[in-house]
Amino acid sequence: MRDWLDQCPVLADIIATRPVFWLNPERKSCSEAQAFIDFDHTDQQDAADRLDRFRPYFARTFPETAPAGGLIESPLRHIPAMHAAIEDYYGIEIPGRMLVKLDSHLPISGSIKARGGIYAIAKFAEATAIASGLLKITDNYALLASARCHDLFHRYSIIVGSTGNLGLSIGIIGAELGFRVIVHMSADAKHWKKEMLRARGVSIVEHDADYSIAVAKGREQAKADPFSYFVDDENSRDLFLGYAVAAKRLQAQFDEHSIQVDADHPLLVYLPCGVGGGPGGVSFGLKLAFGDNVHCFFGEPTQSPAMLVGLATGLDHEISALQLGIKNKTIADGLAVSRPSQLVCRVMRHMLSGIFTAEDREMYRLLALLADSEDIRLEPSGVIGFAGFARLTKAWEELHLTPARQQQATHLIWATGGSMVPDSVWQQDFRQGRHLLANGDASTEFR
């Protein structure tokens, strides 16, 4: 332990579960970082094309996607009232403009996992149907809703380990296609998410252990069944690329909002991070789109700093926060992960600008602030990005953000979940946030 602390001083605060803002000392230019990665824009385009082929199927089977022609995409929204509320509450001033990317309101499963999870199952369904002679790549994919395809898919099981939202996305799309879906859920998973899946015929295997164990048990079960497909949230290229497509869509939304991104107009993006697939894939896509003009930051609970511990120590997936005595118990169930993705650590090592952590009480407060200022409802894990925005004053100089660039900056909070939370559950979180807002001083507590 002493050697780790000597080599990585930030570990002292991490172990003490104090909020930190860590800048990645190994970040490189985008062109240099790309040399260490075996993904490129052709992989991203292949994923985007596949999702486009599935649009007729999505439009037919999920009516909420029909108005957009089967496109699974989320709104981009300016939130000046929340910007002002954060400055007032934290006693800071951050120039530029703030927007929120509402993946919390994505159609079908209401979280960022609707990107990677749905894409991974779509790719497996496409390959299975083509191999069986029921589909050609030039067909209208609405035919995947036919009884013949449903019967074919029902021969297969899809297995995944999840803290909740990935299981929801895979369970919903998998069951709709006809697959038998089994979700191994960690002890952190919310009861309402389990019940929502059971109502769709999904089998839930509950584990009295954390996320890593749930994934391991799912992987073990899949190995014993030749007619199963295991969605490996720790190392899945398909999940990763499904998330990466988001950046291509965001470029078009920026054009619609007349948002410029270049050396004088930097983009700073704050993404909640669990095992890392969602924020890693999105960040990779953003780097492809905007290069060195975008800075990506991951947010983790102080009790679940999986990616921070992995990257800060250089040990990646070989170290767990549990080894440092950190409990991995947090209200942010979607972020309750103790060991990061090996794949994402490798890709993000030289691309990521930094990582910040936040306590549960801060997430509760931010949830209430957002609801009061902008009438947007998120779950606790979905608001952690705002904590990163509040910490950014620590990093202006290191990121070469001059006062002129600060004024022209766009701050994008990636909101990852919340629209499917039952009202009674959300109201409980909101009341807790309101209570904490009335009984705390963030200007000294979290800076």
pLDDT at position 163 is: 83
Indicate the pLDDT class of residue 447, thresholds 50, 70 and 90.
Answer: very low
pLDDT at position 164 is: 86
pLDDT digits (tens, 9 = 90+) for 186-210: 888 899 999 999 999 999 999 998 8
pLDDT at position 352 is: 98
Mean pLDDT of 294-303: 98
Mean pLDDT of 324-348: 95
pLDDT digits (tens, 9 = 90+) for 247-298: 999 999 999 999 999 999 999 999 999 999 999 999 999 999 999 999 999 9
Is it the case that residue 3 has pLDDT exceeding 80?
A: no
pLDDT at position 5 is: 76
CA neighbor of 108 nearest in space, from 162, 68, 49: 68
- Residue pair 431/437 in contact (Cβ under 8 Å)? The answer is no
pLDDT digits (tens, 9 = 90+) for 365-398: 999 999 999 999 999 999 999 999 999 988 888 9
Indicate the pLDDT class of residue 445, thresholds 50, 70 and 90.
Answer: low
Residue at 175: amino acid letter? A
Q: For the chain, what percent of residues have pLDDT higher than 90?
A: 90
Q: How many CB atoms lie within 10 A of CB 137?
A: 10
pLDDT at position 444 is: 47
Is it the case that residue 1 has pLDDT exceeding 90?
A: no
CA neighbor of 249 nearest in space, from 64, 382, 43, 71: 71
pLDDT at position 443 is: 46
Mean pLDDT of 426-447: 82
Residue 271 has phi, psi (to 5 degrees) of -125, 130
pLDDT digits (tens, 9 = 90+) for 242-255: 999 999 999 999 99
Which of these CATH numbers, 3.40.50.970, 3.50.50.60, 3.40.50.1100, 3.40.1110.10, describes 113-237?
3.40.50.1100
Regarding predicted confidence, which is higher, 355 or 36? 355
User: What are the boundaries of each domain within the chain?
Assistant: 2-109+244-445, 113-237
pLDDT at position 442 is: 60
**Was domain 2-109+244-445 assigned CATH 3.40.50.1100?**
yes
pLDDT digits (tens, 9 = 90+) for 102-126: 999 999 999 999 999 999 999 999 9
| Topology alike, domains 2-109+244-445 and 113-237 | yes
pLDDT at position 209 is: 86
Give the span between the Cα atoms of 203 and 201, in whole angstroms: 7
Please state the pTM of the whole predicted model: 0.96
pLDDT at position 240 is: 98
CA neighbor of 189 nearest in space, from 162, 216, 168, 170: 162
Mean pLDDT of 218-243: 94
